[in-house]
Amino acid sequence: MKNTSSQSKASRSNLHQAEFWLQFCFAVISCLGGLILASGPGAEAIPAIAISFSVFGFVLVDRLQLFHLPPIGAYVAMGLAAVYCVGNFWDAQTTGNEQMIAVAMLLVLVQAILMLQQKSPRIFEQIGVFCLLQLVVGAVFNDAIHFGLLLSVISVFAAWALSLMSSVAASEGIRSRAVSPQVALASQDVTPNQAPSSLEAPVMTLAPVMTEVSDLGLRHRLADHWMFRPIGNTVERVSWVVAWSPDSVPSLAGASSKLQVFGMCALTPAILLVTALFFYGLPRTTSASRLGSRGNALVGFSDTVRLDQFGQMLQSSATALRFTMTDRRTGSSYIPTSEIYLRGRVLENYEPDFSLSRPVSTWNAVPLGRISGSQRLPLEFTASQISDRQLYDGVDVNVSCNAMKQASLFAIAPYHVTGKSKKIVHAVDRWTLTRKDRNMIAYPAIDYGFGTNAFFQGQQSAVVTRTSTLGRMLSSTIAGQDSAALSTEVKAATKAGDRVIDLSYAARSRTYRPDSYLSDLTEFDDAAMPTLQRLAQDMLSSIPPSQRTTEVIAKAFERHLAVAGGYQYTLNLDSEVPPGTDPIEQFVAVDKRGHCQYFASALAMMLRAVNIPARLVVGYRTAEYNDLGQYFVARQLHAHAWVEALIDRDQLDESHRLFGQAPSSEYWLRLDPTPGDSEMPDRSGGNVDQVIDMAENLWDKYVVTMDADRQPDAVTGISQQSFFSALVQGASKSVMRLRRGQLGTGIRLGGWSSLPGVFSWPAAVMAVILGIGFIGLAKRLRSWLIRRKKQQKSNSEADKPSVAFYADALDELSRIGLHRQADETPDEFVSSALRHASGAELVAPLQVVTEAFYSACYNEGDALSLSRDEIDGEQKLSLAIEKLNSGVRSILDQPRPR
């Protein structure tokens, strides 16, 4: 009785535990499903509703059972929620984002109503279905990495819950208890009692004598069908047979916990593998679409930049782009020692607007010609002298730019074409890149690449060669003048047959004005900026004439703004600008505080004041490096503005290395007057941030933006190379590095990250699969061998006899190694027992048992049919069996010889 009650207790415990975990899992799923819909503004209420109702439902409805929503109330609530949400949906002015929020809200509200209902398998199924729908909506509108993270967590809990549901499904309709037949016979009530557990079928009372048979047949079979069965308890119908199974439900509930472990350990890898195979193997017909990015695209840089535009950008840490730099010679990551300037847009015209109460200035780009802004990237310049080639570092840059609202891209000048430059075009003499496909409302993420020789020993060159006259000619505006006005140079170049020139275009070009661009670069309103002019003149005069080169002058101005002038960097632009005052004048004369746009604008104006051509360049300045992924990150807060001054070659300082770019008579000198430490690279971020950033990068690269172009790369892990050749190449490179003593940049993070190119995901996956296959094969072989040995052993043994006492005797003797063979008769077995070392003393009782066995088998009448005249026949057998058992026990108790 004690065993029964303890078993019963354990069974109840299993049941309650399974019920608890089932409720818990679905509450978590409900909560996470709401979280997955939270994205962007306007959806703040969704996660709040999901979390609160999940907790509320689990604690108050499921566990404490304080109340629950009746079915009719649930239907009414769902109807109201649908009316509320759909009403928002059909509004003509509702945007796509708002429609998405309406759909998400509807899903969350319905799921919240389900959580308030009393749980049954049907309710659990509906919660699961709504979670699936939430995943679908989330997949469409939310492509952030937290979708992937939440999906993983939801998957774990969903698998857990489904394994519990399989036990619920198996136990559906199985009763575990029945009342006493006496009590049941006296009862005329066929309505079942309330089940204590949702996992347990209602207690079944016995039905009285069945009086009506008319309800049987099709109607009852339909009522039994799961589609028509009402939610919740059902009324049992009359039946002439009652069945219950006390052990089934606890057995099923108890096994569910073990099934979870099995599911996690054994099935998860298989599911992940199939998912990966499906995702990466499915042929793509369209490019990746990102609805989520349309509302969240970054601002980007256009050809018009307001002076206060950077203030908002500089406060955002959203990632604008990620780029890798690879040393072309060694193949390893190239990490500069200073900050990297990525140019986005070049702006020449400065236009203040005094019509507003608070004057605002804008920098605009001079309109480009139709062709000049859409050129292919120039070819790489290769120094004619081999010794010169050692004086610059050839670097390949691969950029992953996030979605932006502008077509402009970012580059390190001077650049040249590589294999990844197909989607981008180059603006002549501005050294800026743009997407080939323009005229879109928003531009999706894009991957592109270029090469650059701008670096040497980790330092980015501050000078960029000016495009040749021929090249610049394409950037001129078309004016209606006679072709005879073309300069001598152009004519000479045309005659040389330079392929760059489109002769027909050149013929159509009426006027080439080489100075028109320069005039834009020197345009200065001294009336609007007297302080600036005076400052420039004063500084100019302070430089000794013998040292007064253009670069010296420019550097002096730069130093003044950055260091000596007492200017302060701030993003807070709350100072009042008097009407009619130029903001730059205000900055220089009064405020002396501002952000990089003000500093750059002031420097540009100062240079123009002394007739030095200068233009504004906007882009990113970053030194953030992710050691884990070995790439640089440019965020919105890295947006920067600097100045480029056009300086003649002979005015440049000799320290500038110009070997990596085509020689020219003029160069663009980069000047950055913004105060701040820009010497040491900023390897900021922390390990956690780096991990998060890399995860986002991988998520974006290998999941969200996966398309037909990326698929081969994703599958093989290495682009444009065969797997094995890349493996060999990577191995040889790593050996070379080891010989040189270079252990890679990621050494402090350990292991694989320091050997890029050797580690390959496909190889790792293959190794894991092979390893699992090998282990499985070894296990199978071992079990086959064991089974074969057992079978051989069992084949030689006789079948178990049907006479119970003889079978028991044989079992007892087998404990000491005495096995009756298949070809042995009982008598022969006695003889063989006699020969056995341990069996001699057992022969006598065994003989008695054998004789009794023969009698039982072959004599008619009762078993044990010894002679009726022998009064102790049965006693004799009992004594023999007892002697046999005690003999076996004594043999087993004997100490075994060593």
Neighbours of 350 (CB within 10 A): 24
Quick one: which segment of 85-93, 176-184, 301-309, 555-563 binds another protein (CB under 8 A)? Answer: 176-184
Q: Considering the complex, what minimum distance in angstroms separates the CB of residue 27 from another protein?
A: 18
* 72 part of the interface to another protein, by CB under 8 A: no
The helix or strand, by DSSP H or E, that contains position 371, with its residue range, turns out to be: none
Query: Of residues 692-711, which lie at the interface with another protein (CB under 8 A)?
Result: 703-707
User: Does residue 295 touch another protein according to CB under 8 A?
Assistant: no
Residues 89-128 that bind another protein (CB under 8 A): 125, 128
Indicate whether 270 belongs to the interface with another protein (CB under 8 A): yes
Is 45 near another protein (CB under 8 A)? no
Cβ 318 to another protein, closest distance in Å? Answer: 20
Q: Does 369 bind another protein (CB under 8 A)?
A: no
Among 81, 199, 206, 816, binds another protein (CB under 8 A): 206
Our CB check for another protein shows the closer of 129 and 500 to be 129
Q: How far is the CB of 296 from another protein (least distance, A)?
A: 15
Scanning residues 829 to 868, which ones bind another protein (CB under 8 A)?
856-857, 861-863, 868
Among 92, 240, 355, 686, binds another protein (CB under 8 A): 240
Candidate segments 257-265, 588-596, 735-743, 747-755, binder of another protein by CB under 8 A: 257-265
Q: Establish if 166 lies at the interface with another protein (CB under 8 A).
A: yes
Q: Least Å distance between CB 820 and another protein? A: 16
Enter the tokens of residue 727: 């493996």
> Residue 436 CB, nearest distance to another protein (Å)?
20
Tell the smallest beta-carbon distance from residue 227 to another protein (Å). 8
CA 857 from centre of chain = 74
Q: Does 253 bind another protein (CB under 8 A)?
A: yes
CA distances from 756 to 113, 324, 458, 744, 874 (A): 52, 13, 20, 9, 86
Q: Does 248 bind another protein (CB under 8 A)?
A: yes
Contact (CB, 8 A) for 433 and 411: yes
**Using rule CB under 8 A, residue 674 touches another protein:** no
Angle at 170 between CA 164 and CA 175, to 5 degrees: 110
Q: Which span sits near another protein by CB under 8 A: 210-218, 368-376, 475-483, 533-541?
A: 210-218
User: How many other C-beta atoms lie within 10 A of the C-beta of residue 713?
Assistant: 14
Nearer to another protein, 257 or 742 (CB): 257
Question: Could you tell me the smallest distance in angstroms from the CB atom of residue 75 to another protein?
Answer: 19
Judged by CB under 8 A, which of 30, 163, 361, 690 binds another protein? 163
In this structure, what are the phi and psi dihedrals at residue 312, rounded to the nearest 5 degrees? -75, -40
Cβ closest to another protein, residue 143 vs residue 582: 143
Q: Closest CB to another protein among 370 and 800?
A: 800
State yes or no: residue 87 binds another protein (CB under 8 A): no
| Binding of residue 272 to another protein (CB under 8 A) | yes
Q: Does 274 bind another protein (CB under 8 A)?
A: yes
Whether the Cβ atoms of residue 319 and residue 693 lie closer than 8 Å to each other? yes
Stretch that binds another protein, among 247-255, 371-379, 381-389, 567-575 (CB under 8 A): 247-255
Beta bridge partner(s), residue 527: none
The answer to whether 245 contacts another protein (rule: CB under 8 A) is yes
**Binding of residue 217 to another protein (CB under 8 A):** yes
- C-alpha–C-alpha distance, residues 704 and 279, integer Å: 11
Neighbours of 637 (CB within 10 A): 18
Distance (Å, rounded) from C-alpha 467 to C-alpha 473? 10
Smallest separation, CB 88 to another protein (Å) = 23
> Which helix H or strand E contains 478, and what residues bound it?
none
Q: Write 189-193 long-range contacts (CB < 8 A, 24+).
A: 190/235, 190/236, 190/237, 190/238, 191/235, 191/236, 192/233, 192/235, 192/236
Is residue 243 at the binding interface for another protein, with CB under 8 A as the rule? yes
Nearest by Cα to 291 from 96, 29, 555:
96
CA 543 to the chain's CA centroid: 58
| 784 SS3 class | helix
For another protein, give the closer residue by CB, 286 or 655. Answer: 286
Least distance (Å) from another protein to the CB of residue 278? 4
- At residue 634, what are phi and psi to the nearest 5 degrees? -115, 120
Q: How far apart are CA 399 and CA 395, in angstroms?
A: 13
Site for another protein in 764-793 (CB under 8 A): 780, 783
Are the CB atoms for 551 and 652 separated by under 8 Å? yes
Considering only 242-250, 358-366, 592-600, 661-669, which stretch makes contact with another protein by CB under 8 A? 242-250
Report phi then psi at 345, rounded to 5. -135, 150
**Which one of 162-170, 313-321, 358-366, 434-442 is the stretch in contact with another protein (CB under 8 A)?**
162-170
Strands 568-569 and 593-594: parallel
Size of the site for another protein (CB under 8 A): 104
**Binding status of residue 192 toward another protein by CB under 8 A:** no
Q: Which residues contact 289 (CB under 8 A, 6 or more apart)?
A: none
User: Is position 48 an interface residue for another protein (rule: CB under 8 A)?
Assistant: no
For residue 806, give every residue at least 6 positions away whose Cβ sits within 8 Å of its Cβ, in sequence order, or none: 826, 849, 850, 852, 853, 856
Q: Does 222 bind another protein (CB under 8 A)?
A: no
Is position 259 an interface residue for another protein (rule: CB under 8 A)? yes
* CA–CA distance, 557 with 497 (Å, rounded to integer): 43
b/e map 748-780, b = 16+ CB within 10 Å: eeeeebbbbbbbbeeeeeeeeeeeeeeeeeeee
Identity of the residue, 210 or 564, whose beta carbon is nearer to another protein in the bound complex:
210
Task: Tell whether residue 145 is a contact of another protein (CB under 8 A).
Answer: no
- Of 136-144, 334-342, 499-507, 625-633, the segment contacting another protein by CB under 8 A is 136-144
Check residue 228 for interaction with another protein (CB under 8 A). no
Backbone angles phi, psi at 632, to 5 degrees: -95, 155
Task: Tell which one of 306, 508, 788, 800 touches another protein (CB under 8 A).
Answer: 800
Tell me which of 64, 66, 241, 837 binds another protein, using CB under 8 A. Answer: 241
Q: How far is the CB of 628 from another protein (least distance, A)?
A: 23
Nearest alpha-carbon partner for 352 in 532, 138, 198 = 532
Q: Which stretch binds another protein (CB under 8 A): 235-243, 515-523, 529-537, 551-559?
A: 235-243
**Residue found by looking up tokens 């000198």 in the block:** 669
Query: Of 557, 555, 591, which is closest to residue 574 (Cα–Cα)?
Result: 591
Q: Is 794 in the site for another protein (CB under 8 A)?
A: no
The one segment of 55-63, 187-195, 286-294, 371-379 that binds another protein by CB under 8 A: 286-294
Tell me: does residue 247 bind another protein (CB under 8 A). yes
Selected binder of another protein within 95, 187, 191, 275 (CB under 8 A): 275
SS3 string, 340-391, reads: EEEEEEEECEEEEECCCCCCEEEEECCCCCCCHHHECCCCCCCCCCHHHHCC
Among residues 45, 43, 85, the alpha carbon closest in space to that of 292 is found at: 43
Residues present in the chain in total: 898
Please give the distance of CA 493 from its chain centroid, rounded to a whole number. 54
**Nearest Cα residue to 650 out of 636, 666, 637:** 666
Pick the binder of another protein from 82, 735, 871, 892 (CB under 8 A). 871
The least CB distance from residue 68 to another protein, in Å, is: 22
Q: Does 77 bind another protein (CB under 8 A)?
A: no
Give the residue among 890, 805, 776, 801 at the shortest CA–CA distance from 841: 890
* 177 binds another protein per the rule CB under 8 A: yes
Strand order through the sheet with 360-364: 304-306, 360-364, 349-353
Binding to another protein by residue 197, rule CB under 8 A? no
By CB under 8 A, is residue 256 in contact with another protein?
yes
